[in-house]
Amino acid sequence: MKNIYFIGIGGIGMSAIARYYNFKGLKVSGYDKTPSELTHALESEGIEVHYEDNIDFIPKDVEDTLVVYTPAIPKDMGELVYVQEHGYRVIKRSRMLGEIAEGQRCLAVAGTHGKTTTSTLLAHIFQDSEEGCSAFLGGISKNYDTNLLVSRNETIVAEADEFDRSFLQLFPEIAVITSMDADHLDIYSDIKNMHEAFKAFAGQVSGTVITKIGLPVTSEDTKANILRYSYDDPAADFYASEIKVDECGYFTFKLNHPGGVIEDCKVGIPGWINVENAVAASAIALTYGLEPEKVRHALGTFQGVKRRFDIHVNTPACSYIDDYAHHPKEIAAAISSMRDIFQGRKLTAIFQPHLYTRTRDFADEFAQALSNVDKLIMLDIYPAREEPIPGVTSEIIFDKVTAPEKVIMVKEELMDYLKDEPIDTLITFGAGNIDRFIGPITEMLCQRL
């Protein structure tokens, strides 16, 4: 193929693949619904991006053009229908990643939450140790300011996404599974089917599957060796012990593994949840064969992932963190970390629900998690690929929240509301377009300091 055309090129997974083939010297172009930091970055790298559904932008050389699309695109989208009806080779993003990974040593990170930070940290361990790897990440690494790493080493780190069963296109040598909580029930219908998909993924691993302790993956599901990891449970094969936290929320600990103990580990970003992510990433790296001392050093130099417990303001007077969390378990973990770091301070959360189906399916769980803040500012639902569902609005979560203070509004009202709002500690949650407020909120808060 001479041309690769991406429908939905601005998605985090799609943009990494687009960058990869642009780096390989192919002609890369594509469509996305709206401009964003990611699409601007692609354009700055020489990739043509347009923002209207217009078949005139599609390369006309059918035989030499591959079209890659994301399932987040509506099935009746004009460009997608056109390429399907006019003889182009058309494949999903997940199949494209599977093809890239074929013939390489694939290290995959799966799970309903935790996979982006864990896979980005794993890729950093390989880079920092000078082993090197190629990596396709679900977020922007703050160490490298990209979601793509390219190496001559035939080792690939891949974030294995369970949405649309995408991870079943991967056949890893080593994989970690961080969590198997109910999610994407529009795809799986119930948690039993979701668990079966994760077990099928484990069955495709050729070497070692490392699961968080307690997850229902057994030797009946896979021929691979099974190891377990945990935050601090000594029954696991990999776990942290003698855990200490400083006044800024940074943790030091011993990392216990089958080969011994790595002393004096420290994660370069705060929060207890990142100790657990560090144990998971280190488990893959050590199983692969990296030296323990190089793993320890890499943990300390990790700068995190944009929009994953991402600190933008941090002073005694005001602190602001943004997080991509869009599942109740993720939100609960982030709030718990905030409470550990900013003890005794008032915590305000802004939450933009993502998808009508997820809002409907987890309204009670969202309400329970969000009730642990001091004040909730609830925004309207970000629909992404979905059409509205009658009766499903932000109110079905909001009405059940028991936080001391709560307000609800549409996102267009948010900045005017915040102008007069006293902020002690603030966290923004959501996988939609709430990220467009990060800059304005940060600027406003800094002006108050």
Q: What is the CATH number of the domain that holds 342?
A: 3.90.190.20
Edge-first strand listing for the sheet containing 146-149: 146-149, 134-141, 155-160, 105-110, 174-177, 208-212, 225-229
Q: How many CB atoms lie within 10 A of CB 357?
A: 15
The answer to whether residues 109 and 233 belong to one domain is: yes
Residue 131 lies in a domain: yes
- Give the model's pLDDT for residue 316: 87
The answer to whether residues 283 and 376 belong to one domain is: no
Phi, psi of 190 (to 5 degrees): -155, 170
Q: Would the pLDDT of 181 be above 90?
A: no
The answer to whether residues 281 and 399 belong to one domain is: no
Dist CA 327 CA 323 (whole Å): 11
Dist CA 24 CA 32 (whole Å): 22
- For residue range 24-64, list pLDDT tens digits in order: 999 999 999 989 889 999 999 999 999 999 999 999 999 99
Out of 241, 270, 301, a domain closes at 301
The answer to whether residues 110 and 227 belong to one domain is: yes
For range 213-238, the mean pLDDT: 97
Residue 418 lies in a domain: yes
Residue 271 contacts residue 309 (beta carbons within 8 Å): yes
Out of 53, 73, 92, a domain closes at 92
% of the chain exceeding 90 in pLDDT? 85
- Give the model's pLDDT for residue 409: 97
Task: Report the amino acid identity of residue 401.
Answer: V
Residue 359 CA, distance from chain mean position: 19
The answer to whether residues 213 and 339 belong to one domain is: no
Which uninterrupted H or E stretch holds 15? helix 12-23
Q: Would the pLDDT of 189 be above 90?
A: no
pLDDT-derived band at 386, boundaries 50, 70, 90:
confident
The answer to whether residues 142 and 273 belong to one domain is: yes
The answer to whether residues 280 and 398 belong to one domain is: no
- Give the model's pLDDT for residue 366: 97
The answer to whether residues 205 and 332 belong to one domain is: no
User: Looking at the 3D structure of the chain, how many domains does it have?
Assistant: 3
- For residue range 335-360, list pLDDT tens digits in order: 998 998 898 999 999 999 999 999 99
Out of 259, 281, 301, a domain closes at 301
pLDDT-derived band at 398, boundaries 50, 70, 90:
very high
For range 378-402, the mean pLDDT: 95
More confident: 377 or 152: 377
Q: Which residues contact 147 (CB under 8 A, 6 or more apart)?
A: 12, 15, 16, 19, 136, 137, 138, 139, 140, 141
H-state helical runs in 322-420: 328-341, 356-361, 363-370, 395-398, 414-419
Q: Would the pLDDT of 196 be above 90?
A: yes
For range 78-104, the mean pLDDT: 94
For range 410-437, the mean pLDDT: 95
Residue 49 lies in a domain: yes
With the C-alpha atoms ordered 337, 338, 339, 342, is the resulting torsion angle positive or negative?
positive
- Give the model's pLDDT for residue 385: 77
Residue 29 lies in a domain: yes
pLDDT-derived band at 67, boundaries 50, 70, 90:
very high
Tokens of 234: 């000594």
Residue 276 CA, distance from chain mean position: 15
> What CATH number should be reported for the domain holding residue 86?
3.40.50.720
Dist CA 134 CA 126 (whole Å): 9
Dist CA 355 CA 324 (whole Å): 14
Residue 97 lies in a domain: no
The answer to whether residues 222 and 241 belong to one domain is: yes
Burial group, residue 192, by CB count within 10 angstroms (0-12, 13-18, 19+): exposed
> What CATH number should be reported for the domain holding residue 197?
3.40.1190.10
Burial group, residue 159, by CB count within 10 angstroms (0-12, 13-18, 19+): buried
Burial pattern 389-422, b for ≥16 Cβ within 10 A else e, equals: eeebbbebbbeebebeebebeebeebeeebeeee
Residue 435 lies in a domain: yes
- Give the model's pLDDT for residue 167: 92
Beta partners for 305?
A: 141, 308
- Give the model's pLDDT for residue 113: 87
pLDDT-derived band at 364, boundaries 50, 70, 90:
very high
- The 3-state secondary structure of 156-178, one letter per residue: EEEEECCHHHHHHHCCCCEEEEC
Residue 220 CA, distance from chain mean position: 29
End-to-end CA distance of the chain: 54
- For residue range 249-304, list pLDDT tens digits in order: 899 999 999 999 999 999 999 888 999 999 999 999 999 999 999 999 999 999 99
Residue 441 contacts residue 428 (beta carbons within 8 Å): yes
- Give the model's pLDDT for residue 368: 98
pLDDT-derived band at 248, boundaries 50, 70, 90:
confident
The answer to whether residues 283 and 165 belong to one domain is: yes
For range 69-73, the mean pLDDT: 88
For range 201-223, the mean pLDDT: 97
- For residue range 109-143, list pLDDT tens digits in order: 999 989 999 999 999 999 999 999 999 999 999 99
The answer to whether residues 240 and 314 belong to one domain is: no
For range 207-214, the mean pLDDT: 98
Dist CA 160 CA 166 (whole Å): 7
More confident: 130 or 183: 130
Q: Would the pLDDT of 446 be above 90?
A: yes
Give the HSE-up count for residue 208: Cα atoms under 13 Å, Cβ half-sphere: 16
Closest-CA residue to 21 (of 9, 31, 33, 32): 9
Residue 406 CA, distance from chain mean position: 27
For 272: left if phi > 0, alpha if psi spans -120 to 50, otherwise beta; the answer is alpha
The answer to whether residues 377 and 433 belong to one domain is: yes
- Give the model's pLDDT for residue 384: 85
Full domain range(s) for residue 47: 3-92
Residue 364 lies in a domain: yes
Q: Would the pLDDT of 185 be above 80?
A: no
Dist CA 263 CA 259 (whole Å): 13
Q: Which residues contact 38 (CB under 8 A, 6 or more apart)?
A: 10, 11, 12, 15
Q: What is the mean pLDDT of the chain?
A: 94
Q: Would the pLDDT of 417 be above 90?
A: yes
